[in-house]
Structure 1
Amino acid sequence: MTRYTELAERYGTPLYVYDLDRVAAARQDLFDALPEPFSLFSAVKANPHPEVLRALGAGDGRVCRAEISSLGELGAALEAGFDPAEILYTGPGKTDGELVDAIGAGVRLFSVESLTDLEHVGAAAGVQGVVADCLLRINSASASATTSIRMTGTPSQFGIDTETLGEVLPKMRAVPGTRVAGAHFFPLSNAKDEDSLVGEFRHTLSVAADLEREHGVPLRFLDIGGGFAAPYAVPGERPVYEKLCERLETTLDELFPDWRRGTPHLACESGRYLVGDSGVLLTRVINIKESRGRTFVILDAGINTFGGMSGLGRLLPVAVQPEGPEQAAEIEDGTGLSASLVGPLCTPGDVLGRQVELPNLRVGDILTIPNAGAYGPTASLLMFLGRPAPAEVLVRGGEVVSASRLEHSRVPLTPLAPSAPLEGPAPVGGGRA
């Protein structure tokens, strides 16, 4: 019986197992790949489990800061011990209520997507008598790499179009309660290789330098985004970016001669790279059936457990990690199964993978889906059909640190008390959301 099988028998399936030692290793690898002055933001959305976040924010020397886009993520980050003054609050739909609450909790750094978004931050800050530092998220008119999920160069709810920035910047710098502190870029996710990643970062830094020179964009703080790759729900190893640090330093020396002295303060951000290979998903075979020449392996884990992000092209198809040489040989030489992996939900969309190569299976067997530490339960259709959430077990040094499960509950609400609107633009999203 393997260690994973023992945990599945003890805590049941579906079961996520997160190895905190691998979280620490990924954090260290990424810091090693970045020049020394860089800050690193962990995208809380990738895995908001407080123990995982605590592992990212702990350690000697350089530690991650938290990047969030909701009060729920703020709560997880605070529970994990992150300093609210070091948190970056992002997102295109920040409501007046959440801004007031976030600033009240001590958040002072925001990424803003438009003039009106900045005005909402300023109004919330003004109510509490503080000034919020704001990074202008930039939607560049062009891009370098063409891989994976593009988040720039197209019409978007994200970012300020570079071609309009010159006109709107004077208004943005005059918004009470705010200070334009710099710029925020996030052009792509999951670059296909190191050359693509470096090319995108070079392009981003070049655009930032142009904006500073041509429009006077203040650049005390410059977040150049992410794009760090990692295998996802398939066997494989995280890449180690051996030349990224040197190549970034060369570009920065050319474009920002004072960067080594902290002008601008530089940052990157990452989600799946930091947590993806820390997790595996264990799921049990419930049934195996044939239908018109196709085989279906029905699992107790479906898109309510894993796979809710498949619509973004992030998951399908998954692959199974063989448990030993015999299973590996069955997959390799084709003597195993080729089947669709489907979940238990009453919808034909509950598919984790089609024509997946599998070992020979029996009902009751445990399958291991590797590299599943990012975008798991909270990025899935967790409440669909009311099935229980998967268990989540965290280990360090081979020992269980914690075991828990998210629970769904409905709580009664009372009507919100009428309140005067914040000074500034009209409230968005119905006020305190």
Structure 2
Amino acid sequence: MSRYKALAERFGTPLYVYDLDEIDAARRQLLDALPEEFTLFYALKANPHPGLVRALREGEGRPCRPEISSTGELESALAAGFDGADCLYTGPGKTAGELDEAIRRGVRLFSTDSVSDVRHVAAAALAHGVSADCLLRVNSATASATSSIRMTGTPSQFGFDSETLADVLPELRTVDGVRVAGMHFFPLSNAKDEDSLVGEFRHTIELAARLQRELDLPLRLLDIGGGFAVPYAVPGSRGSYPGLRGELADALDTHFPRWRTDGPEVACESGRYLVGASGTLVASVSNVKVSRGRRFVILDAGINTFGGMSGLGRLLPVAVGPETGECVESATLVGPLCTPGDILGREIDVPALAPGDLVTIPNAGAYGPTASLLMFLGRPAPVEVVVRGDTVLSVSRIEHGRSYAPVDEPSARTVTGAAE
């Protein structure tokens, strides 16, 4: 009996299995690809499960610091053993309530996207009698590499436009309660190859040096972003970057000759690369039907379980691995929801499946339950099992209420929560 079949019999399906050995390997691989002086942030939006976040804090090698974008992710980071001071809080829509909670719980480093965003951070800091550090996220006017998901070079809610930064910097220098501590870039996601990644990082480092020089911009921390690739829901291996360490060191030596001794501290960030390959989604076949010559395999896992932003039409199709047998036919893989949008893959190769069979979807450790339509139709969330080898370390399920509850004033309290 395979590990997945045994776990499915114990805990039911749909079921996520996260292997911490795979997370350890990903962290080692990425740290080996970066200069040893680099700080590495883990973007909790990829998977905020405290067991995975804790694994990235513990174990061999340097811990990954949390990069968070909500008080929910802050809660996960704290539950994993981090302090608020370890976190970098990002996002263009930080509310007054969120900032108040973040400051109260020790967060002191924020990535900011506009003058008003900086002022909001400052107001929260002053209300608690403290000072906060702000990175200015920069939306470069140009880009080097191409990618499936571009994050710079166009009008965006993210970041200060690089060409207008000089105009707003005098105002930013006068805001009480915050200090401008550096710059944050995130130009691309899931780079198609090492050359694309290197080209974008070199462009970012050159632009950061020019802005610092021309604007006399404080630069204690330079976060150059990420873009490290791993397959999503299809077989394959993490990206390999054998030349990246040398390329980064060369670019920094050129533009910041004393970066190793005098700063700036340089950081990268990653989400999917660190956790993506750790996860496998196990689902059961509920039914198989043929409609006008097309075969449909209906699973107990759909976009409520594994949405992964599939509604945006850019992450389909998935690939399935059978517990037994070879792929012998083409079918459309659908979930259990009563909507025609509940499709995981159109006309993909599958084995000869029947009700009760198991299928596995690999590389599903990132953008799983929390990136899905989890509450749609009120179906139970999938069980999430954290393992190390053959040892089960934790079993949990995100619970959401089946009825509406009154909220406490003055602020709303969530009716959802995660149990570990």
TM bin, normalised by shorter chain, reads over 0.9
Q: Distance in 2 between matches of 1:84 and 1:313?
A: 36
Q: Distance in 1 between matches of 2:335 and 2:312?
A: 19
Residue 316 (str. 1) matches residue 316 (str. 2) = yes
Question: What residue is the counterpart of 2:246 in the other structure?
Answer: 246
User: Partner letter of residue 396 of structure 1?
Assistant: R
Residue 372 (str. 1) matches residue 368 (str. 2) = no
Q: Pick from 397, 402, 407: which aligns with 1:413?
A: 407
Residues 306-345 of structure 1 mapped to structure 2, 5 A cutoff: 306-323=306-323, 327=325, 330-331=326-327, 336-345=328-337
Question: What residue is the counterpart of 2:131 in the other structure?
Answer: 131
Q: Distance in 2 between matches of 1:312 and 1:41?
A: 26
The answer to whether the 8 Å contact 2:323/2:358 transfers is no
- Structure 1 moving runs of 4+ over 3 Å: 311-314
Could you tell me how far 1:130 is from its partner in structure 2? 0.7
Question: What residue is the counterpart of 1:180 in the other structure?
Answer: 180
Q: Distance in 2 between matches of 1:244 and 1:83?
A: 31
Q: Distance in 1 between matches of 2:246 and 2:316?
A: 35
The answer to whether the 8 Å contact 1:276/1:372 transfers is yes
Residues 64-79 of structure 1 mapped to structure 2, 5 A cutoff: 64-79=64-79
The answer to whether the 8 Å contact 1:222/1:265 transfers is yes
Q: Distance in 1 between matches of 2:170 and 2:376?
A: 47
Residues 167 and 399 of structure 1, relative CA distance in 2, 3 Å threshold:
same
Unaligned 5+ segments in structure 2 are: 412-420
Overall identity of the aligned pairs, in %: 69
Q: Distance in 1 between matches of 2:108 and 2:312?
A: 31
Residues 37-186 of structure 1 mapped to structure 2, 5 A cutoff: 37-186=37-186
Residues 149-228 of structure 1 mapped to structure 2, 5 A cutoff: 149-228=149-228
Q: Pick from 327, 338, 342: which aligns with 1:350?
A: 342
The answer to whether the 8 Å contact 1:114/1:159 transfers is yes
Question: What residue is the counterpart of 2:304 in the other structure?
Answer: 304
Question: What residue is the counterpart of 2:415 in the other structure?
Answer: none
The answer to whether the 8 Å contact 1:234/1:321 transfers is no
Question: What residue is the counterpart of 1:275 in the other structure?
Answer: 275
User: Partner letter of residue 387 of structure 1?
Assistant: R
1:27-51 CA distances to partner (integer Å, 9 max, x unpaired)? 1111111101110000011111100
Unaligned 5+ segments in structure 1 are: 418-433
In terms of mean alpha carbon deviation, does 306-315 or 137-146 score higher?
306-315
Residue 294 (str. 1) matches residue 286 (str. 2) = no
Residues 276 and 372 of structure 1, relative CA distance in 2, 3 Å threshold:
same
Question: What residue is the counterpart of 1:422 in the other structure?
Answer: none
Could you tell me how far 1:369 is from its partner in structure 2? 0.2
Q: Distance in 1 between matches of 2:201 and 2:313?
A: 23
The answer to whether the 8 Å contact 2:322/2:358 transfers is no
Q: Distance in 2 between matches of 1:207 and 1:111?
A: 18
User: Partner letter of residue 58 of structure 1?
Assistant: E
In terms of mean alpha carbon deviation, does 27-36 or 256-265 score higher?
256-265
Residue 361 (str. 1) matches residue 353 (str. 2) = yes
For the residue of structure 2 that corresponds to 1:98, the secondary structure is helix
Residues 4 and 231 of structure 1, relative CA distance in 2, 3 Å threshold:
same
Question: What residue is the counterpart of 1:430 in the other structure?
Answer: none
Question: What residue is the counterpart of 1:425 in the other structure?
Answer: none
| TM-score, normalization by structure 1 | 0.93
Could you tell me how far 1:293 is from its partner in structure 2? 1.3
Could you tell me how far 1:313 is from its partner in structure 2? 4.7
1:340-397 CA distances to partner (integer Å, 9 max, x unpaired)? 0000000000000001101111111000000000010010000000000000001012
Residues 411 and 56 of structure 1, relative CA distance in 2, 3 Å threshold:
farther
Q: Distance in 2 between matches of 1:74 and 1:32?
A: 27
Could you tell me how far 1:308 is from its partner in structure 2? 4.1
For the residue of structure 2 that corresponds to 1:284, the secondary structure is strand
Question: What residue is the counterpart of 1:388 in the other structure?
Answer: 380
Could you tell me how far 1:314 is from its partner in structure 2? 5.0
The answer to whether the 8 Å contact 1:307/1:315 transfers is no
Q: Distance in 2 between matches of 1:73 and 1:244?
A: 30
Q: Distance in 2 between matches of 1:31 and 1:304?
A: 34
Q: Distance in 1 between matches of 2:205 and 2:268?
A: 12
User: Partner letter of residue 407 of structure 2?
Assistant: L
Residues 384 and 234 of structure 1, relative CA distance in 2, 3 Å threshold:
same
Could you tell me how far 1:174 is from its partner in structure 2? 1.3
Q: Distance in 2 between matches of 1:230 and 1:200?
A: 18
Q: Distance in 2 between matches of 1:411 and 1:374?
A: 31
